[in-house]
Amino acid sequence: MSDTPTAPDDVMPAAEPDQPAGQAEPTEPTVIETANDGLIDGVNRCAKCGSTEIQLRVSTGMLICLFCRHEWAEEQIDPLISGDGGALSDLSGTTIASGAADITADAGVLTLKCSGCGAEVVVNTAEATSSRCHWCRHVLAVNTQVPNGAVPDAVLPFSITRDQAVEHIRAFAGKRRAFAHRTFVKEFTPGNVVGVYLPYMTVDGNVSADVHGHGEVETRRYTRGSGDNKVTVYDADVYQIGRHVDFTVDDLTLESSSERANMSAFANTNNVINTILPFDTKNAVQWNANYLVGYTSERRDQDVAAMMPALEHQLLSIARSEVQGSVSRYDRGVRWEAERLDVHGTRWVSMYLPVWLYSYYHRDGDEAMVHYIAVNGRNGETMGSVPVSHWRLAAAALATGTVLEAVAIALLAAS
């Protein structure tokens, strides 16, 4: 290989491979209060008749009173978070919505006082955010935000019905029936699909990044040797290059459940949740526990500080993508050797996002795996995994190869 002097427009000083991220000294975050002022106690009543029998009507995305049929929706969260509509590039420091505050470990069990009869009802927020008064049967809900990670800032309601989700799952599994394991085909029961609200943080960010490395431009390619010992070699000019990029992110979604964020491919396939992103988070509304009636939910168990490494990892991936267009002339590729990330400002919002989930536990000898098929509860995007019969998969591959070969022979004969 031959080296040439570094191109003038790519001259950058050598960078230490492990430079610090350039973060400012940690300070107390700015807090945006997102508590729903219309929910003053544990009883959320219909404004028209006072009933507490309220649930989500998926077809309209509205809450409906099951007694008088009055419908309404909570206000969208985005205007409250955005405030005066300042540009994301103006973000500075750390801003959190009140529902994204640090988790208080000893606040998992709450006592709600029923405003209907005065009884006190205990709610374990690790399992549910609502309960019924055992005396007057009023529905009590944890609508007042408490700093325990149980009550988020916002919720994105389901807009895909259960029947629609079942059809999506049935179609997904049907396309894979030919090579699916026979026990899965026999025991497949899409009616067992469950609607669940999963905890996420949505993050806005104002970011700068620098990347340094070397790029190669091929100048000559030729062969050496002969016969079986023939090899292809090349000459290339090598350049030291560096790039700087300023960018913003809007509603980047991060899992705030450590169990979901831990993708253990040896035990389950819960990573399929990432494949049904994104969600239309701009349509999320202020928290109201009645959106969760009839669905299950998981509780957030990670604070903002614990999620910063995952955020920085994604931001660096975005930075590499942003600079990709400017290094296309290096036809032998670019090797990035040092990276620096400056996060000037972030804004965090705790949010529940809707997912329809079908799970199947499969055991094959000593190996066990939980397979999931997930449906985006807003747009119907579906992805998942099914247990595979290896001999059926091989047969399908051979059959496909035979068909392709026959088509190729027919085309050659026709020509």
Tens digit of pLDDT for each residue in 55-83? Answer: 999 999 999 999 999 999 999 999 999 87
| C-beta neighbour count of 284 within 10 angstroms | 26
pLDDT > 50? residue 20: no
- Tell me the average pLDDT of the chain: 81
- Residues ≥6 apart with Cβ < 8 Å to 92: 206, 344, 345
Buried b (16+ CB within 10 A) or exposed e, 36-75: beebeebbbbbeeeeebbbbbebeebebbbeeeebeebbe
Cα torsion 166, 170, 171, 172: sign: positive
Cα torsion 8, 12, 13, 17: sign: negative
Q: Which of 130-144, 244-258, 377-391 has the highest mean pLDDT?
A: 244-258
The torsion angle over the Cα atoms of residues 87, 88, 93 and 98, rounded to 10 degrees, is 100
Q: What is the pLDDT of residue 368?
A: 80
For residue 43, the 8-state DSSP code is: B
pLDDT > 50? residue 203: yes
Query: Considering only CA atoms, which of 376, 341, 343 is closest in space to residue 357?
Result: 376
pLDDT in tens, 317-371: 999 999 999 999 999 999 999 999 999 999 999 999 999 999 888 887 777 888 8
pLDDT > 90? residue 245: yes
pTM, two decimals, is 0.78
pLDDT band at residue 3 using 50, 70 and 90 as cut-offs: very low
- Helix (H) / strand (E) containing 59: none
Burial, 399: exposed, middle or buried (Cβ in 10 Å; 0-12, 13-18, 19+)?
A: exposed
